[in-house]
Structure 1
Amino acid sequence: MKILTYDPENRSLIIRLYAVYWLGYILLFSLIQGLPGGDFFMALRNEWYSVLPKILFVTIVVELLMPRLLFRKKIMAFFGVYVVLILVFAFLQRLIDNYIILRYYLTFWKIEPLLSAPVFLYNVSKLQFVVTMPIAFKLFYYLAEERNKVQTILSEKLQAELSSLRNQFHPHFLFNVLNSLYSKILSKSDDSADIVLKISDLLRFSIYDVNNKNISLENEIDYLKNYIALQQLRFENQLQLSFSVYGNVENHSIEPFLILPFIENSYKYCLDENNQGWITIAISVTEEWLVVKIENSLPEHFNTATDNVSSGIGIANVKRRLELLYPDKHVLTIKNEALSFFVSLKIKIKDGSN
């Protein structure tokens, strides 16, 4: 919803609002003062004569004092000037009453001294009444604008942090994949060409999608399959791998590269000294939840007390992204057992969107 602001583009609208407000004020007090005596039109004429000081008072307070003093946290200065202004305009109102309205139109009324306390206080209270609503609206819009500014700043900060996190992850992924190619080239493996093609496909996907807010879950899973195939070539199928997908992956979307760090982590730690190990990956989709379960073997010599599998850059990165993108909409469970490492990630999704 767009909030009304006091910029030049809205000036004509503000003028119209003021015009409606003052017309309503004049009619209200004309009815209050004129109907009991049966002389509404005389009361209306008198209100027209006395409305100018009120307009000047409200304009000075709302359009000058509030932005320059109150909104700049100069509260004592604001109230000091406000008190002086209301007394000055109350006196100006007394001059109009005595020397115009009472002298020429209400000649049958007794003219009170200019500083007569009851009449003077009545004019002060009338000025206070007429300025209260404009002050309230001005304050409301100011607070709404400040809240919008804070939200904009927070949103920009969030997007900047997410962009930073994505850019941190991207080089990390490239580093791991290029290491795979390097090892194959050193061993002069016939799989090098196949690895280059798969790296090309992965890079094309990651370069175009890494900065997208969402990608289709189907594309994300295809990306994971390519990555797993690449890793299987790297390890020459020494790993026992189980990869399964359950449910309908169409018409769902997800933040890109949230699942891959956990799979990367599995490949990093699962092999023992004989390059043997196993990984189980299961992805299931329901109408509301995406559930990813990944478990991998750990070498017998692996010390879970000193070696923390979940402390890598990729895992820390994805934890932070989950906090930012899916607050209260995800459940991440990590278990570092003696001979295995288990990850369960649940993300609440909806058809067609996150």
Structure 2
Amino acid sequence: MSGITYNPENKFQKIKRYTFYWLGYILLFSMIQGLPEGDFIIAWRNEWYSVLPKIFFVTIIVEFLMPGLLFKKKTTAFIVCYILLILFFAFLQRLIDNYIILPYYLTFWKIEPLLSAPVFLYNVSKLQFVVTIPIAFKLFYYLAEEKNKVQTILSEKLQAELSSLRNQFHPHFLFNVLNSLYSKILSKSDDSAEIVLKISDLLRFSIYDVNNRSISLQNEIDYLKNYISLQQLRFENQLQLSFSVYGNIENHFIEPFLILPFIENSYKYCLDENNKGWITIAISVSDDWLVVKIENSLPEHFNTIPDNVSSGIGIANVKRRLELLYPDKHALTIKNETLSFFVSLKIKIKDGSN
């Protein structure tokens, strides 16, 4: 009958619902008891006299016992209290019948003993009837609110997990770049300023954009280009790199840091003992599907890549985020060949123009 969150509007709605309910109840039983005998007015008046105990009974059960006992898993205590209350109010109803209604308004009716079983059980059944609908509504709203709480908790847990996954930016790459920068500075290389600028862009992206639920695909690709440029500077451009973008990447959005781990992985495992290797990266957009294909060389002596690499946020991390963010809207294929490592990622992405 009511929610857990209490405010004036909820209280007003609750009073209004109870008012309509009790008016409907009085009308229903007045018709049931009065119309067959042609004394609807008398039955209507008698119901008004006897409705107050029922209101108290329903209010105690629905507004106090259910939240205080039933919803706190104290089922036995609730049942015991419920039985005692229904017997007490049935007896109270018998007092009203015997000492108010029958002597003054239904004088032609025989007054039965207070604890007459048939009449007493009739009052119990009437109380049970009148409380059933409010109990059902209370249970419905309680279960709905519990479901909402569970959904809220799951949503908050999901966001916390995603936030944790997003922020697992591994410092190993940054340390390597800073070491390269240090070497460039010592040798007074012209690349030093460019490295500092790209590091600045990379850190800005990883600190600010990583916490956004989605970013433009253009920003993601710009970040990847910065990352790749830093890696190429770090390895003195010894790697053979092919980086291509096809299709219209404007007005599309993606969860940040989904592509980077695979590129990190390529740089980590592609070099041989002479720091030679190759990487091919192709990114395309078609019909709101983003397709990323990455392939890198593998040294001849190295033909096994663990599923959860430590570089960056890791492939296992990305798999988990894809499951959470793009259920049934992505396809990930990973092939570990003898001399190459291949990744194909297909994601249904958001179109900002829609």
- Give the TM-score range, shorter chain: over 0.9
CA distance in 2, matches of 1:233, 1:53: 85
CA distance in 2, matches of 1:30, 1:311: 76
The 5-angstrom pairing of residues 150-161 of structure 1 reads 150-161=150-161
Q: Is the 8 A contact 1:184 1:234 kept in 2?
A: no
Q: Is the 8 A contact 1:270 1:278 kept in 2?
A: yes
Q: Does residue 201 of structure 1 match 2:219?
A: no
2:300 partner letter = E
- Residue number in structure 1 paired with 2:323: 323
In structure 2, the CA distance between the partners of 1:117 and 1:152, relative to structure 1 (3 Å rule), is same
Shift of 1:123: 0.8
Q: Is the 8 A contact 1:265 1:309 kept in 2?
A: no
For 2:14, what is the secondary structure of its paired residue?
Answer: helix
In structure 2, the CA distance between the partners of 1:77 and 1:103, relative to structure 1 (3 Å rule), is same
- Residue number in structure 2 paired with 1:219: 219
CA distance in 1, matches of 2:172, 2:353: 28
Q: Does residue 291 of structure 1 match 2:264?
A: no
Q: Is the 8 A contact 2:50 2:96 kept in 1?
A: yes
Q: Is the 8 A contact 1:209 1:215 kept in 2?
A: yes
- Residue number in structure 1 paired with 2:40: 40
- Residue number in structure 2 paired with 1:74: 74
Q: Is the 8 A contact 2:265 2:309 kept in 1?
A: no
2:68 partner letter = R
In structure 2, the CA distance between the partners of 1:133 and 1:318, relative to structure 1 (3 Å rule), is same
For 1:100, what is the secondary structure of its paired residue?
Answer: helix
CA distance in 1, matches of 2:66, 2:317: 46
Shift of 1:21: 0.8
The 5-angstrom pairing of residues 123-138 of structure 1 reads 123-138=123-138
CA distance in 2, matches of 1:44, 1:309: 77
Deviations for 1:277-335, whole angstroms, at most 9, x for unmatched residues?
A: 1111111212242111100001112142xx53752252232222223222332222211
Shift of 1:174: 3.1
For 1:250, what is the secondary structure of its paired residue?
Answer: coil
- Residue number in structure 2 paired with 1:240: 240
Shift of 1:222: 1.5
The 5-angstrom pairing of residues 63-142 of structure 1 reads 63-142=63-142
CA distance in 2, matches of 1:183, 1:24: 87
Give unmatched runs, 5+ long, in structure 2: none
Deviations for 1:42-86, whole angstroms, at most 9, x for unmatched residues?
A: 111111000000001001111111111111111111111111111
CA distance in 2, matches of 1:153, 1:269: 40
CA distance in 1, matches of 2:6, 2:168: 41
Superposition RMSD on alpha carbons, in Å?
2.1
- Residue number in structure 2 paired with 1:144: 144
Q: Is the 8 A contact 2:169 2:206 kept in 1?
A: no
CA distance in 2, matches of 1:283, 1:298: 21
In structure 2, the CA distance between the partners of 1:26 and 1:172, relative to structure 1 (3 Å rule), is farther
Q: Is the 8 A contact 2:3 2:141 kept in 1?
A: yes
1:14 partner letter = K
CA distance in 2, matches of 1:141, 1:183: 67
In structure 2, the CA distance between the partners of 1:53 and 1:23, relative to structure 1 (3 Å rule), is same
Shift of 1:180: 3.9
Q: Is the 8 A contact 1:329 1:347 kept in 2?
A: yes
For 1:169, what is the secondary structure of its paired residue?
Answer: coil
In structure 2, the CA distance between the partners of 1:175 and 1:103, relative to structure 1 (3 Å rule), is farther
- Residue number in structure 1 paired with 2:334: 334
Shift of 1:38: 2.0
Q: Is the 8 A contact 2:303 2:337 kept in 1?
A: no
Which deviates further from its counterpart, 336-345 or 167-176? 167-176
- Residue number in structure 2 paired with 1:7: 6
